[in-house]
Structure 1
Amino acid sequence: MLLPVFQDLIKPQWRAVLEELKLSGGLPVSELARQVNASYMAVKQHCEELKKIGYLDRSRIPRTAVGRPEIFYSLSAKADALFPQAGADFTLDVLDELKGLFGESTPDKLLFQHFQKQQAKWQPLLAKAESLADKATKLVALREKAGCFIRCTHDPESGFRIEEFHNPLQRVFDRYPRAVAMEHRMIEELLGMRVGRRELAGGRAGQPRVIFEIPIPAIR
């Protein structure tokens, strides 16, 4: 979700457009209008206003049927600041300084401790869950509170699917990729089972979309 201050200040229509483009990675105006339940012209106007102030990129894509190319909007790099970042610049500066002072492995050790402490903090809250569905729901709520833009769905045939469209630590992961496995391991420990993890492209300028999958055998 957007940072709370922006939720209060940004027009509801702009917020709907920004969050839908974050979820999708980018959409043509016609599809975006359907998703936010508004008219084509209204959505196009909102998108143009957001583009003028630098939060959207505009391009054209060919139609599947005959006709002129469709206008396509996606979030710009500037829009990333609208979503929680967990003090990424400060965190990276501190980790880099500590690496220079105490050695190459220092950032990884500190990140490991971070996820260990987060797991210890969240474990008692998830331990109260009566089912895996309840546990997954609580975990999603905790991660959303920590700044993730996240959704959880359940399919009777394939199991649970947790999708993260924004993680405030992504820039830290980009610099220190071993932290990705640390976070993944924490999620497995919290849920008490093996969890699949894969990444999909998040749009032209967006973060990767991360999907955590809990297969059916694990939830019976």
Structure 2
Amino acid sequence: MRPLDKEKTPATICPEQMFLPAFHDMLKPQWLATLTELKEAGGLAVSELSRRLGTSYMTVKQHCEDLTKLGYLKRSRVPRTEIGRPEIFYSLSEKADALFPAIPAEFTLGMLDQIQKMFGENSPDRLLFQYFQDQGEGWKARLAKGSTLLYRAQLFAKIRSQEGCFTRCLHDAEGGRIVLREFHNPLGSILAKYPRAVAMEQRAAEHALGGKLVREVSGEAGGIPAHVDFILAAPP
């Protein structure tokens, strides 16, 4: 499975779209690229990171050291697969979470708690249900020009990224498999506290795309998935 070729994608997603606008001018392009790769991979050895970025080992290591000094990366060592000294390994720190868009969790969760106290146990779920129902209709309208399931998936990945998610559309041309891989969701803390909203968001996406989604989670930290795959199947 591979990311879709640029010429086949309705709109190209730039790394800058994944970060809050306030950080675009503060972070060097090389730093943005480094943070993007580490966000997607969950952490990488310097040798692999330099290969992915097409940059020399020492240049990438320096970028990572700069970001580590600023508090955005964590540095560790991992054993080599072959004989030799352990490799230097970098991953995102908790401070790096602030670089990515998120709904103000404390305020929003506090509001939902107050709604629950005022209107009953299920009131937050009812409110979230209405929100995602409206969201699904909005997505469907924006995807209306997509004549194929693949094209709609490509466009949906673009839309989700504009909304603050970190989404890639992957397509296996031979098997026809389409996967929407999500590395970040601004609603993450809300979905963690109100798990029924996970299915609500998924149904909204299915409604918009016109296909069934199978959700697979890869790793979790603090209740937040490392990434989520939405495997897309055409309706029977």
Is the TM value for this pair above 0.5?
Answer: yes
Q: Tell me if 1:22 matches 2:39.
A: yes
Cα offset, 1:200, TM superposition = 0.3
Listed as ranges, the matches of 1:82-121 within 5 Å are 82-121=99-138
Given residue 181 of structure 1, which amino acid in structure 2 is its aligned partner?
A
Q: Which of the pair is proportionally richer in helix? A: 1
Tell me the equivalent position of 1:214. Answer: 232
Q: Tell me if 1:194 matches 2:212.
A: yes
Listed as ranges, the matches of 1:26-175 within 5 Å are 26-156=43-173, 157-175=175-193
Given residue 87 of structure 2, which amino acid in structure 1 is its aligned partner?
E
Percent identity (aligned): 52
Stretches of structure 1 lacking an aligned partner (at least 5 in a row): none
CA shift digits 1:69-96 (9 cap, x unpaired): 0111000111111000022222112111
* Residue pair 2:192, 2:224 contacting (<8 A) in 1 also: no
* Residue pair 1:74, 1:204 contacting (<8 A) in 2 also: no
* Residue pair 2:212, 2:235 contacting (<8 A) in 1 also: no
Cα offset, 1:193, TM superposition = 2.1
Distance 1:12 1:47, change over 3 A: same
- Over aligned residues, Cα RMSD in angstroms? 1.9
- The count of corresponding residues between Structure 1 and Structure 2 is 218
> In 1, distance between residues paired with 2:176 and 2:150?
14
Given residue 165 of structure 1, which amino acid in structure 2 is its aligned partner?
F
Cα offset, 1:194, TM superposition = 1.4
Deviates more, 1:96-105 or 1:8-17: 96-105
Distance 1:150 1:83, change over 3 A: same
* Residue pair 2:170, 2:178 contacting (<8 A) in 1 also: yes
Could you state the TM-score of these two structures normalised by the residue count of structure 2?
0.87
CA shift digits 1:33-85 (9 cap, x unpaired): 11111111111111111111211111111000000001110001111110000
* Residue pair 2:78, 2:86 contacting (<8 A) in 1 also: yes
Could you state the TM-score of these two structures normalised by the residue count of structure 1?
0.93
> In 1, distance between residues paired with 2:66 and 2:199?
40
User: Tell me, what secondary structure is at the counterpart of 1:104?
Assistant: coil
* Residue pair 1:75, 1:206 contacting (<8 A) in 2 also: no
Cα offset, 1:205, TM superposition = 10
> In 2, distance between residues paired with 1:203 and 1:86?
18
Tell me the equivalent position of 2:7. Answer: none
